[in-house]
Structure 1
Amino acid sequence: MLPRNCPGITADSMPLDVVRSAFTWLTTGPHPVSVDGRLFDGFPDRWVRLDEVRDLLLRRTCPQNVRDAVWTHLVRLARTEGATWTVACAGIALPALLNVASKLTARFADDPSDIHSSVLTGFLTELAAVDLSRPRIMVRLRWAAYRAGHAALREALDTPVPSAGSFTSASPPAPWGHPDFVLARAVEAGAISSSEADLIGLTRLEKVSLAAVAEQRGASYEATKKARQRAERRLVLYLRDDVDTVSPNTSGSGVQGCERQPDASTHTSSPDVPAPPSSTTPEVPRCA
């Protein structure tokens, strides 16, 4: 999938470390891989090295339409020319992928390699299929990476583990309430669709205005508002049913601060749940 013959890559390297090393290899030396900055508004009037492209996209001042134009260009190159540009896309998205992997494995005490690998696989799979005619390409690539990593995490946590003194099956941990986890689990359970999770995630978690999302989707504000209301009603019903099934005595679950704490598990290093992201909490940039 990605080259492993680059300097700094060993057999024990984590999948995202492989991406980092391969991307560094592409951006160093006398002939670094670059894109023509003249193709994009606000970019330098010259060939721009890939790591500089990444940094420009991560700037808060970079307009969304420019981000989408650059990602459209990069994804098309990855689809038509293959390996080099696939690595380029993964490397430019690396800050977001690392953020996703870190969030998923923050309380996971076992080897996180499979989860990191699933995050990368989810991104690369979506890279081949993402609709380039719709806006916020990187947001949708990130969600695909998150869903794949989350599925791998759930599989790891749901695997029975030996109890002390015997090999009887231990109970899987109860679901946790981080907003991104909640949406991913709801999609996995079929309570809401991926499109509806994107709508809730963009407007509730990413703080994109409902009017902006409606315009992006080519729908009216009222239609988009009603679509979100319907999705959130199903999400609430799913969460209520989930709480009753898992822990009848636990109150509160869901997005926007209505969370519950997980049971202690031999898979996790701490029963604490990571705090939901906020505008005042510093973190690695989520997406470019």
Structure 2
Amino acid sequence: MLRLDELRDCLLRRACTQDTRDAVWAHLVSASRAEGAVWTLGCVGVALPALIRASAALTSRFVGDTADIEAAVLAGFIAELAQIDCSRMQIMVRLRWAAYRAGHAAVREALDTPLPGGTTPSSSPPPRPWGHPDIVLARAVADEVITPDEAHLIGATRLERIPLTEVAEHSGVSYEAIKKKRQRAEHKLVDYLRDDNDAGHDDETTARTASPAQSTPAGRRRCADGLSRTCGESGVQKCGARPALPSPAPALKEDTPCD
């Protein structure tokens, strides 16, 4: 018998295998569905490090009230508990992504909200691009550059550091097949970041030469995609913040079969 906080610490250890994590989470999800509130709260406690990370990634550059976004992350996690397929691998990773997507939708809604009356925004250069890696993947999926499955594969193996061999084994495909799938997705992602970086220079020039009429609420370019890469005055990408990634197109190392 283990206390849930002790169980959480065990799951966070590098020595803990993915099979063990999946077995534990399958049990926790089943208990939540069978007994409800107490075990649902227990699941939230065990998942708290991942939920905090998701919330921090979404709110670190958001200048408004973050309570609604954090609540959306939690609501997305709890909603996914009721429907997640526990027969598939990486249960916690998929729960975290569901929570992140819910929080991301809340951020988009907040950024799409019209400015209060009497507020006059001013033109300013955009921040040099991107931010947290999770936000990069979310944007790429929203822009249909990569699929959700490809984003999940990159996130699991690059950010969660799950070995590619382990993903291939659980997916029922060969190591080379899953490696090539990730390579194709990463190449598309790199091209996407490079293209956007080139476009950012044009946007910056336009921002510096904008006329007063273009700075009115009517002339302001709305952040229609919710996490605009050029609307840096408000929201997640606050103007002047330094990017979390050192470059828009980091070098991607290839895995070897022994990873």
Gaps of 5+ in 1: 1-46, 251-260, 278-288
What one-letter code is carried by the residue in structure 1 that aligns with 2:99? A
Query: Number of residues paired by the alignment?
Result: 219
Q: Does 1:271 align with 2:240?
A: yes
Correspondences of 1:176-195 after superposition (within 5 Å) = 176-195=130-149
Q: CA deviation at 1:171?
A: 7.8
> How has the CA–CA distance of structure 1 residues 161 and 247 changed in structure 2, closer, same or farther, with 3 Å as cutoff?
farther
How big is each residue's C-alpha offset from its partner over 1:1-26, in whole Å with a ceiling of 9 and x where there is no partner? xxxxxxxxxxxxxxxxxxxxxxxxxx
Match of 1:63? 17
> How has the CA–CA distance of structure 1 residues 63 and 233 changed in structure 2, closer, same or farther, with 3 Å as cutoff?
closer
Q: Does 1:103 align with 2:72?
A: no
Of structures 1 and 2, the one with the larger relative CO (CA 8 A, separation 6+) is 2
Contact 2:130 / 2:243 at 8 angstroms: preserved in 1?
no
What one-letter code is carried by the residue in structure 2 that aligns with 1:127? L
After TM superposition, the score normalised by the length of structure 1 is 0.66
What one-letter code is carried by the residue in structure 2 that aligns with 1:130? I
SS in 2 for 1:48: coil
In 1: Cα distance, 2:243 partner to 2:44 partner: 26
What one-letter code is carried by the residue in structure 2 that aligns with 1:271? G
In 1: Cα distance, 2:194 partner to 2:105 partner: 21
How big is each residue's C-alpha offset from its partner over 1:173-213, in whole Å with a ceiling of 9 and x where there is no partner? 77623211010112223322221101111222233332222
Q: Does 1:224 align with 2:178?
A: yes
How big is each residue's C-alpha offset from its partner over 1:206-249, in whole Å with a ceiling of 9 and x where there is no partner? 33332222112111112112211232233344445544666536
Q: Does 1:113 align with 2:81?
A: no
- RMSD of the alignment, in Å? 3.0
Q: CA deviation at 1:81?
A: 2.0
Q: Does 1:205 align with 2:173?
A: no
Contact 2:63 / 2:235 at 8 angstroms: preserved in 1?
yes
Structure 1, 168-177 or 226-235: larger mean CA deviation: 168-177
Q: CA deviation at 1:266?
A: 3.8
> How has the CA–CA distance of structure 1 residues 274 and 242 changed in structure 2, closer, same or farther, with 3 Å as cutoff?
closer
Q: Does 1:215 align with 2:184?
A: no
Match of 2:46? 92
Contact 2:57 / 2:134 at 8 angstroms: preserved in 1?
no
SS in 1 for 2:202: coil
Instruction: State the percentage of identical aligned residues.
Output: 58
Q: CA deviation at 1:90?
A: 0.9
Structure 1, 129-138 or 226-235: larger mean CA deviation: 226-235
Q: Which has the higher helix share?
A: 2
What one-letter code is carried by the residue in structure 1 that aligns with 2:233? S
Match of 2:188? 234
